[in-house]
Amino acid sequence: MIELRNSSSDEYASNFEERRKNRLKDSPLISSILIAILVGIFLQMTWIIGVQELVGTFTSDILTMLIVDFGFRMTMGVILVFLIIPLLFGYHRKDAPLKEYGEHMRVNRGVSITKTILAGVLPLLGFILLMLILALLTGMFNPDLGVLIDDYRWFVFFLALVPGIWEELAFRGMILTNLEQRFSQKTSVLISAVLFGLFHFSNLVKDDLVSVTLVAIMATAFGIGWGYIVVKSNSVLPAIFIHYAVDVVLIGPLFVDANLATDASILMLVMGLTILFPLVCVMLAKMLFRNEDST
């Protein structure tokens, strides 16, 4: 009788687990919203618990605080993307290994290595050109690579890895592919971009509503361009590279001088990038993959 109860219990647990995974896989929109919420929680955990403040109680060295904070955020990303999400969708099982999970997120070379590389490099060059033009038009153009030396700003090359890797694997990897199981590619790109924009409201834990709203609008637009590149190239790698490099340029800042900025010039810069950069991404993707199946 004991063995029978244990067997029944194991079977019930197994069936419950299977039903849970099936509900997630059969409800791509709900599962995508869940992933977006989890990303917001995990990647903002450093601000929620105040990692830098906690480290500051032991040392006043800024670089040490940055290193610990970076390590914590990367760890949260690893736990979320390689443990929590695979467990939710059953990719830890023998019949659904992590290799399949990677394929699901399009962690591959895409249609070709050359086109995948160009899909990352060309939009970045377009973004830099737009930044230069808009910085000149707004009167904020003042390139100074020396700014990276001030206040450890060079550490942005490490910090930008967090959103570049984990946000892209979540939104253009898992979420976008989930949505494609139910919706068309164009609709999936749009929904994933909206979720990406809404995710940025998690920044309210550290920033004001106005700046967060502007960033959320920009992120939504950028998400459309990056999502289009992913579905055309069939690889998330270009989006990871572009996201990382764009954050380095924006957070740097490498081309604009904040001392020359006004509310009007900042708004013009943000709106210019929001409107034009996604168009650049889409047009370049169309040009690169014009021989591929249309989306």
Q: CA–CA separation, 92 vs 9, rounded Å?
A: 21
Q: CA–CA separation, 184 vs 47, rounded Å?
A: 36
Helices and strands, number each (H, E), in the chain = 16, 0
Residue type, 88: L
Q: What would the pLDDT profile of 121-166 be if each residue is shown by its tens digit?
A: 999 999 999 999 998 898 888 776 666 666 777 888 999 999 999 9
Which residue in this structure is represented by tokens 């993307």?
81
Where residue 91 falls among pLDDT bands split at 50, 70, 90?
confident
Of 2-11, 58-67, 169-178, which has the strongest mean pLDDT?
A: 169-178
Where residue 295 falls among pLDDT bands split at 50, 70, 90?
very low
Cα dihedral sign, 98-104-109-111: positive
Q: What would the pLDDT profile of 201-249 be if each residue is shown by its tens digit?
A: 999 999 999 999 999 999 999 999 999 999 999 999 999 999 999 999 8
Contact (CB, 8 A) for 199 and 38: no
Residue type, 192: S
Residue ranges of the domains in the chain? 2-288
- The 10 Å Cβ neighbour count of residue 50 is 12
Farthest-apart Cα atoms in the chain, separation: 81
For range 179-199, the mean pLDDT: 96
Q: 129-152 b/e with 16+ CB inside 10 Å = b?
A: ebbeebbeebebbeeeeebbeeee
- Copy the structure tokens of residue 100: 């399949």
- Copy the structure tokens of residue 92: 């830890």
Where residue 2 falls among pLDDT bands split at 50, 70, 90?
very low
Looking at residue 255, what is its pLDDT? 74
Cα dihedral sign, 85-76-152-274: positive
